[in-house]
Structure 1
C-alpha cells in the first residue's frame, strides 16, 4: 500500500483520524442543540434547524472551525459546552500503536488540524496523544483551513517537508484533494471516522477503516533512519 522506506514525514489529521469523530458529531448534532434549546427557551427542533443552517452556510471556511465565532453565533460558551461531554473524546482503534510504530521507524509526525486551539487543547489533555507527535499545527495559526492551498504554503514555511516523501492521512476526501493539489504524493483516507456510523467512500485515495490495515507493512519494515 505504502513503501514506508520512502517516507520521511507523516502528516496526520486529528478528528476522525487519530480521534473518534463521534465526539464532534454528538456535540454538534445533539449536545449543542439541546443546550441551545434550554438556554434560549426555543423548541429543540428549532434549535436543530438554526444550528444546521449555520453549519451549512460556513462549511469549509475557517469560521466553520472557529469556536470563538460559534460562541458569538450561539451566544454561548462553546468551549465550556465541549468540556461537559469530554468523556466522549476517544482515541481511534490502533492509533497509538500506529504512532508508536512510526516513531520506531524514525518518521517525523506532524499533526495538522482545523481544530480551534481551545478544542485542540481539550483533546490533548484528555488523550495525551501529543506525546507521540513531533509538531502540532492548527490551521488557525495560518488563518487558512486545510482546504485552502495557502495552508500548505504556510505549513511548508513553518515546518519544511518534501511532498514526494510525505504521507497525508485524513478522513475527508475534500481535504485530501487539497493536499494532492499541493503535490503530496501519498494520500490515505480514513473511511470510518465515526465509530457509531458506517464507512464512507474514500474517493480516489487509499481507503482504510482503521490503522490496523497499515500496521503489518509498517511493522515489517526494517528500522532505519529517514531523512528529515
Structure 2
C-alpha cells in the first residue's frame, strides 16, 4: 500500500486510531449528558440537545478538545468522570503489533493528538500505548488543532520532520486532508474507530480496518 523505503516517520492519531473510540463516544455522548441531566434536573434528551448544541459551536477548534473549556461550559468535573470509567479505555487489538513492527522497520513513531494533556496523560496511564511511541504531542502545546496549518508547521519544526517522508494515520478525513494540505506525503484512514459501531466509508484516502494488513509489507526489505 505504501513505499515504506520512502517513509522515515509515521505520525499517528490516538483516539479512534490507536485507542478504541468507544470510550470517548460513551463519555461525551452518554455519560456527560447523563451527569448534566442529574445536575440540572432536566431530561436526558434535553441534556443531550444542550451538549450537542454546545459541541457544534466549537467543532474544529482547539476548544472542542479542551478539558478546561468544557468544565467551564458544562460545570462538570470531567477528569473525575473520566476516572469513573477508566476500564473502558482500551487499545485497538491491532495497534501494538503495528507499532512494534514500525520499530523493527526503523520507523520513527510520533503521536499527534488533539486530546487535551489531561486526557492524554490519563490514557497513557491506563494503557501500554507509551511503550509503542517515540514521541507524543498534544495539539494544545502548539495552540492550534490538527485541522489548522499552524499545528503542522509546529510539529514539523519541533521534530525536524521532512513531511515528504512522513505517513499520517487518522480516523478523520478532515484532519487527513489538513495534513495533506500541510505537505505530509502519505495518508491512511482508519474505517473502524469505534469497535461498537459500523465501519465508516472513506473514499478520499487509502483506508484499512486492521493494521495487521500492513505487517507483511513492513517486513519486506526495499531498495531505493
TM-score (normalizing by structure 2): 0.96
* Distance apart, 1:71 and its partner CA: 0.3
The CA RMSD measured in Å over matched residues stands at 1.2
CA distance in 2, matches of 1:197, 1:215: 25
Q: What does residue 186 of structure 1 align with?
A: 186
Query: In 2, are the aligned partners of 1:105 and 1:223 still within 8 Å (CA)?
Result: no
- Could you say which residue in structure 1 is the equivalent of 2:4? 4
Separation in 1 of the partners of 2:60 and 2:210? 25
Paired residue secondary structure (1:199): coil
Residue 129 (structure 1) aligns with = 129
Is the counterpart of residue 145 in structure 1 residue 145 in structure 2?
yes
Alpha carbons 1:166, 1:185 under 8 Å: kept:
yes
Distance in 2 (alpha carbons) for counterparts of 1:33 and 1:216: 44
SS in 1 for 2:207: strand
**Pairs within 5 Å for 1:1-228:** 1-219=1-219, 221-222=220-221
C-alpha contact 2:156 2:163 (8 A) present in aligned 1: no
CA displacement at 1:96 relative to structure 2? 0.2
Secondary structure in 1 matching 2:126: helix
Distance 1:88 1:52 in 2: 22
- State how far apart, in whole Å, the 1-side matches of 2:85 and 2:94 are: 23
Q: Distance in 2 between matches of 1:31 and 1:168?
A: 31
Aligned to 1:110, what secondary structure does the other structure show? strand
Partner Cα distance (2:203, 2:40) in 1: 41
Deviation of 1:223 after TM superposition, in Å, equals 8.9
Q: Equivalents in 1 of 2:54, 2:206: separation in Å?
A: 32
Secondary structure of the corresponding residue to residue 205 of structure 1: coil
Of 73-82 and 11-20, more deviation after overlay is shown by 73-82
Looking at structure 2, the residues matched to 156 and 165 of structure 1 have their Cα atoms a distance apart, in angstroms, of 11
**Is this contact kept in 2: 1:98–1:215, CA < 8 A?**
yes
Query: Following the alignment from structure 2 to structure 1, what is the Cα–Cα distance between the partners of residues 54 and 162?
Result: 37
How many Å separate the matches in 1 of 2:115 and 2:169?
Answer: 16
Cα contact 1:93–1:211 (8 A) shared by 2: no
What are the Cα deviations for residues 61-96 of structure 1, in whole angstroms up to 9, with x where unaligned? 000000100000111111111111111111012100
Aligned residue-pair number: 223
Structure 1 segments of 4+ aligned residues over 4 angstroms from their partners: none
Residues 155-212 of structure 1: per-residue CA shift (max 9 Å, x gap): 1121111111110000000000000001111100001100011111223110101212
- TM-score, normalising length from structure 1? 0.95
- Aligned 8 A contact 1:104 1:223 in 2: no
Structure 1: tracts of 5 or more residues without a match: none
